[in-house]
Amino acid sequence: MASEESVTIEARLSDRDYLRPIPAFIGQANVTDHRVYDRFDDFPEGFTEYAELLDWEDHWDEVFDGSDPPFFKWFVGGQLNASVNCIDRHLDDRQNQTALLWEGEDGDQRNITYGDLHREVNEMASLLRSIGIEEDDIVTIHLPMVPALPITMLACARIGAPHSVVFAGFSASAVADRMRDADSELLVTIDGYYRRGEFLDHLAKTNAAVDEVEHDPDVLVWSRHDEPATSLRREYTHVQTKLADHRRDRVEPVMRDAEDPLFLMYTSGTTGKPKGCQHRTGGYLAYAAGTSKYVLDIKPGDTYWCAADIGWITGHSYIVYGPLALGTTSVMREGSPDHPHQGIVWEVAERHAVDIFHTSPTAIRMFMKWGEEHLESYEFDFRHLTTVGEPIQPEAWNWYYEHIGHGTAVIVDTWWQTETGGHLITNLPALWDMKPGSAGLPCPGIEPAIVDDAGQSIEGDEAGNLVITRPWPGMLQTVYGDDERFIETYWARFSDIDSDDWQDWTYVSGDGAIKEPDGYYRILGRLDDVMNVAGHRIGTMELESAVVEVPEVAEAAVTARVHEEKGQVPDVYASLRDGIEPDDGIKADIIAAIEAEIGAFARPSRVILVDDLPKTRSGKIMRRLLEDISNDRDLGDTTTLRDPAVPEQIRRQVQGA
Ligand code: PRX
């Protein structure tokens, strides 16, 4: 872009903190009328506007049932099928329009039309049926970014079998844990996939996961190149071979109650065990479709690219369910954004004339670091840009706006969580000015608040706990198999848990935030023991449990260190059993344990072997002090510790004298 233009943008930014969407954007936007907020304030009726975007087999009798808080029900009595909403209902108008536009890292490409998707999902649904999968069986899917992933998800949805997708980067143990927790008797996986030019052997993880679960699951293996891998175990079923028996099969979609679960998505919390967030069919799909339309401004004719992974909630809601429910073209890409070269993202955007692009602050910081020269030879023209997953610093925001958006695209910074199903805080793009660093205003119908630790509302722009005081259709139903944990984790802190009036119940996000005087929310990050590493949510307790698996380790504490590119990275502090001398082999074993229990993406940045961990007199590990050390901050008051000399000793070890 011309340098003169960038000067103007900077001038506008320093003049005031706000930027207006350009008139050409506003003129074409899906939502241009501020009264949308009034309509949604009519609780719960307002949310029917989202439900009406879907096709229902049976209309709901009641919009919201809050009689058994916090087990809220949405669109009660309604019946629908998610695969019908994402595929069948588009066939009359766009049988030949591309639904999924897939780019393999090795140069493979596929244009899967809505007609193709209908055929392939039906055939896969028929295959699932033929091996005995029935309504309500939970299917674990451990697939990377290949068409097999959305096809398998939608095939599950067609027969009413909730899916539980595990991000491909998770280890065998993580897959086994999730299968065990969900009593899942089918694992759908693949022989391998490409990342940075290398063909990763995914089957090794499959074998190890199968060996680790006590029950004997069925295993369906897709192959990345149609031919079955020679190393396939005899008891596994090769999908492409078996699909030949199901050519042109049609499977009558199973109508699901609005409240029947559509999927589980495991996420990290403050304990060592990930929680299965259970999402309902009707409310979730309505919310994903509604926010895709209102926030992402998706129209059927658009080419939309969310560069997240379908293995996380962002990909579920905003690569698969939301965009396909609206009948648009959704791009998906295998592999890493720096392979085969650091301009590949922009090459793909140019090739497919992508209109809307969606990524994370970590990726934006990476693109910035790689430099503008990687953008220069590509012509891309985005109308709308999204960011999600972490707070975005104004510097990265400005770079995104200027270099990726050319100063004309709108940017929405979307705050939400695995649990929330869809966006909760972000601007409807044509209605509000953009403000770098602030997620924006609450979405229609959403009522956030900032409260202090006693639950009192904070007036003025001070930091506090971000809570949501009114239910919404996209919210999780429960933690799979553990209603108590659901209440304990998300509600108990600020709710009157004996009350059966839903208005006495408040959802706790675990994030800290500030409500600025203009009503915009600035998200500060997690207040609990959850860190955000390159947009991946990881519980410190999960890491600690993995570290103490190493036999030499006596105790461990993990802290988050602020990292310029990844946002946060884990530092591991470990003390060893009596008589064991620290050495590099133990450090390597600790890293290996984390990779085996969780996955390579959770690898710590530093492992620090210490004589002792700082503890209170009652023996509680003071992680806060370790976090100060990791982040080069001064140590606070250490006089109440059992041994006040310990943190100073560790500080010297980490920071030098
Ligand atoms: O801390 C918040 C951060 O990501 C957490 C949710 O992570 P996860 O469940 O993996 O879902 C990520 C994608 C929705 C939140 O508790 N987070 C998410 N979006 C933002 C954010 N932090 C700041 N700004 C955001 N826009």
The neighbour count for residue 641, using CB atoms within 10 Å, is: 16
How close is the Cα of 130 to the center of ligand 1, in Å? 39
Rounded CA gap, 537 and 41, in Å? 32
pLDDT attached to residue 17: 82
Residue 6 has pLDDT above 90, yes or no: no
Residue 176: pLDDT band by 50, 70, 90 thresholds? Answer: very high
pLDDT attached to residue 636: 79
Residue 323 has pLDDT above 90, yes or no: yes
pLDDT digits (tens, 9 = 90+) for 295-309: 999 999 999 999 999
**10-24, 154-168, 170-184, 361-375: the lowest-pLDDT one:** 10-24
Amino acid at 445: G
Q: What is the average pLDDT score of the chain?
A: 95
**Could you tell me where the DSSP H helices lie in 458-611?**
483-490, 540-547, 584-597
Residue 511 in contact with ligand 1 by CB distance below 6 A? yes
pLDDT attached to residue 421: 98
pLDDT attached to residue 15: 41
448-526 has which CATH code?
A: 2.30.38.10
Residue 10: pLDDT band by 50, 70, 90 thresholds? Answer: very low
472, two tokens: 């919404």
Q: Are 326 and 318 in contact (CB under 8 A)?
A: no
**pLDDT average, residue stretch 124-130:** 98
Residue 248 has pLDDT above 70, yes or no: yes
How close is the Cα of 390 to the center of ligand 1, in Å? 5
Residue 270: pLDDT band by 50, 70, 90 thresholds? Answer: confident
pLDDT attached to residue 195: 96
* Residue 454 Rama label (left phi>0; alpha psi -120 to 50; beta): alpha
**pLDDT average, residue stretch 88-112:** 97
Rounded CA gap, 591 and 595, in Å? 6
How close is the Cα of 316 to the center of ligand 1, in Å? 15
Among the listed residues 255, 74, 250, the one whose alpha carbon sits nearest the alpha carbon of residue 157:
255
Q: Are 123 and 87 in contact (CB under 8 A)?
A: no
- Can you tell me whether residue 190 is helix, strand or coil? strand
Which residues of the chain form CATH 2.30.38.10? Answer: 448-526
**pLDDT average, residue stretch 260-268:** 97
Question: Atom 4 in ligand 1: which residue has the minimum CA distance?
Answer: 389
pLDDT digits (tens, 9 = 90+) for 570-581: 999 999 999 999
Which residues of the chain form CATH 3.40.50.980? Answer: 109-254
Among the listed residues 248, 236, 152, 141, the one whose alpha carbon sits nearest the alpha carbon of residue 187:
141
304-339 burial: b if 16+ Cβ within 10 Å, else e: bbbbbbbbbbbbbbbbbbbbbbbbbbbbbbbbebee
What is the domain class of 530-655 according to CATH? Answer: alpha beta
Residue 288 in contact with ligand 1 by CB distance below 6 A? no
Rounded CA gap, 151 and 112, in Å? 10
pLDDT attached to residue 8: 40
Residue 13 has pLDDT above 70, yes or no: no
pLDDT digits (tens, 9 = 90+) for 409-454: 999 999 999 999 999 999 999 999 999 999 999 999 999 999 999 9
User: Which element (helix H / strand E) includes 347?
Assistant: helix 344-351
Question: Atom 17 in ligand 1: which residue has the minimum CA distance?
Answer: 389
Rounded CA gap, 381 and 378, in Å? 10
**pLDDT average, residue stretch 583-596:** 97
- Can you tell me whether residue 37 is helix, strand or coil? helix
How close is the Cα of 3 to the center of ligand 1, in Å? 34
How close is the Cα of 475 to the center of ligand 1, in Å? 15
Residue 16 has pLDDT above 80, yes or no: no
Residue 388 in contact with ligand 1 by CB distance below 6 A? yes
pLDDT digits (tens, 9 = 90+) for 479-510: 999 999 999 999 999 999 999 999 999 999 99
Environment class of 51 (CB within 10 Å of its CB; exposed 0-12, middle 13-18, buried 19+): buried
How close is the Cα of 568 to the center of ligand 1, in Å? 13
Residue 291 in contact with ligand 1 by CB distance below 6 A? no
Residue 226: pLDDT band by 50, 70, 90 thresholds? Answer: confident
pLDDT attached to residue 495: 98
- Can you tell me whether residue 234 is helix, strand or coil? coil
Question: Atom 2 in ligand 1: which residue has the minimum CA distance?
Answer: 525
Could you tell me the fold of the domain covering 109-254? Rossmann fold (3.40.50)
Rounded CA gap, 590 and 574, in Å? 9
* CA end-to-end span of the chain: 47
Q: Give the whole-number percent of the chain exceeding pLDDT 70.
A: 97
How close is the Cα of 416 to the center of ligand 1, in Å? 5
Residue 637: pLDDT band by 50, 70, 90 thresholds? Answer: confident
Which residues of the chain form CATH 3.30.300.30? Answer: 530-655
Q: Are 466 and 512 in contact (CB under 8 A)?
A: yes
**pLDDT average, residue stretch 394-403:** 96
Residue 390 in contact with ligand 1 by CB distance below 6 A? yes
pLDDT attached to residue 3: 39
**pLDDT average, residue stretch 89-101:** 98
The strand pair at 478-479 and 275-280 is best described as: antiparallel
Q: Are 473 and 317 in contact (CB under 8 A)?
A: no
**pLDDT average, residue stretch 282-292:** 99
pLDDT attached to residue 4: 38
Question: Atom 5 in ligand 1: which residue has the minimum CA distance?
Answer: 417
Instruction: Please give the radius of gyration of the chain, using alpha carbons only, rounded to the nearest integer.
Output: 25
Beta bridge partners of 615: 621
Whole-prediction pTM value? 0.95
